[in-house]
Amino acid sequence: MIESVRAAFSLPDLRRRIFFTIGMLIIYRLLANIPVPGVNLQAWLSFTSQQTGNAVVDFLDLLSGGAVSNFSVMAMGVYPYITASIIIQLLTPIIPQFEELQSEGESGRNKLNRYTYYLTVPLAFLQGIGQIRLVGTSLTGGVESIMPNFGFGATQLLPTLTTLIAMVGGTMFAIWIGERITEEGVGQGISLIIFGGIVSGIIPSLAQMFALEATARIFSLFTFVLYLVLTVLVIVIIQEGQRRIAVQYGRRVRGRKIYQGQSTYIPLKVNTAGMIPIIFAQSILTFFPLIAGLFISGSGSFIDRVASTIGTFGRSQDPTVAPVAFAAYWILYFILVVAFTFFYTDVMIRQQNLPETLQRQGGFIPGIRPGKRTESYIMSVVRRITLVGALFLGLVAVLPGIMAIVAVILRIEGLERSVLVISGSGLIIVVGVVIDTMRQLEAQLLMRHYEGFIKS
């Protein structure tokens, strides 16, 4: 890896791409420190400095690349674009026009991307309102404590529109930065933006861990190193793991040429869905406290007690504060992640239409009839290996909750911080982005090597 990086910097064009990527990430990090208009930044920073393990705020901060912690103009990050992309992906097999566009090649994909951008703008406005309201449910004084002029009254409309336009503009600029990195830099731009935010939060989190008292600090640091090594190892094994289904191609005649039969394989990944199920599950769970907050009246009725319990979802990592809400949150989180993993993987595999592609190209799986039997066989294999990937994603998602329980059992204050320095979800992104970026560097180096070989 070190040799590849050194070789990359020795090539002028590749060196320019690397510096362009770094420069764009620096611009994003600078913009992530510009507060959104109308926010009481001192009150917000006071809240975030006292809160550790607030699942709602942590999740939004993760997807914004660390911009929510400063409530900056980039506070929504690229999350509206991710949501729009997922919606378009799920609608593609349902809407015939989208399915036709996907099969048209590059021009069709460009049109689908354009539709994704169109959908991103209204979603960004809706998410801006929802995110501010959602964060307000985590504050004692509500939204007014950080945004006194936010609302849709006669005197509040202009400040509210200013705030929302700034946040939507920040999102679209972040998407533009990501597109520029993908086209002119190295790596996948959107993923690198999220990666940069995750990495930038490691040092402040470690500083909080060092502030613990001596015994807790030693245990927390040891647990963090152990957790980091084991989790990265398992992530690499699962992310790179695949089941290869053997495929045989018969002899084919194309014009005057005869192509001999050959053997190859279909690589089915253990974790086809990636981070999407965690994003789905957390998105649903973040809306529960927001809806429940509308029914909290303080009357002490049954509905009020249920709403108050749901309203504490994800706000605290201490299982002794609200044990019922704590247990319900993490159990439901695990179930949703596992369910969405199966759902999203099923959608993605069916979109690829592997049996029809094999039949069209003259390929078949030995011992399996083409057509319906091949489809049933592939789906049965996918569901078996997806079980491993789903359980893996579920366990990674609930690691903070598990460590919080372990900290209470062992009576070691601050032990749960070991998995909050960088969450399991964040590690999946970090490891995936690093592997993908290194592969692209290798591909660029290989391409230039072959060019030089041909010219000589």
Contact 80, 123 (CB under 8 A): yes
Domain ranges of the chain: 1-200, 215-422
Structure letter (DSSP) for residue 412: -
CATH code for residues 1-200: 1.10.3370.10
Q: How far apart are CA 308 and CA 302, in angstroms?
A: 10
Architecture of domain 215-422: Orthogonal Bundle (1.10)
Distance CA 142, CA 294 (A): 12
Give me the residues paired with residue 252 across strands: 259
Give how far the C-alpha of residue 384 lies from the chain's centroid of Cα atoms, to the nearest Å.
24
3-class DSSP assignment, residue 435: helix
Nearest alpha-carbon partner for 174 in 155, 159, 190: 190
pLDDT tens digits, one per residue of 388-425: 888 988 888 888 778 778 777 877 666 666 666 677 77
Residue 119 exposure: Cα atoms within 13 Å on the Cβ side:
18
Closest by Cα among 449, 456, 453 to 8: 449
Q: What are phi and psi of 66, to 5 degrees?
A: 85, 10
H or E element: which one contains 254?
strand 252-254
- Fold agreement between 1-200 and 215-422: yes
CA distance 301 to 74: 40
CA 436 to chain centre: 15
Which of 292, 282, 271 is closest to 60 using CA atoms? 282
In a structure prediction context, what are the per-residue pLDDT tens digits for the chain, which is 456 residues long? 667 677 777 778 888 888 998 899 889 888 888 888 888 877 777 766 655 555 666 667 766 766 777 788 888 888 888 888 888 877 887 888 887 887 777 788 888 888 999 999 998 888 888 777 767 666 666 677 778 887 777 778 888 899 899 989 998 998 999 889 988 888 888 888 888 777 877 777 777 777 777 777 787 788 888 888 888 888 888 888 888 888 887 666 666 666 566 778 888 888 887 777 887 787 777 666 666 655 665 667 777 777 766 666 666 666 777 777 778 888 888 998 899 889 888 888 877 778 887 777 777 888 888 878 888 888 888 889 999 888 988 888 888 778 778 777 877 666 666 666 677 777 887 888 888 888 887 777 777 664 433 344
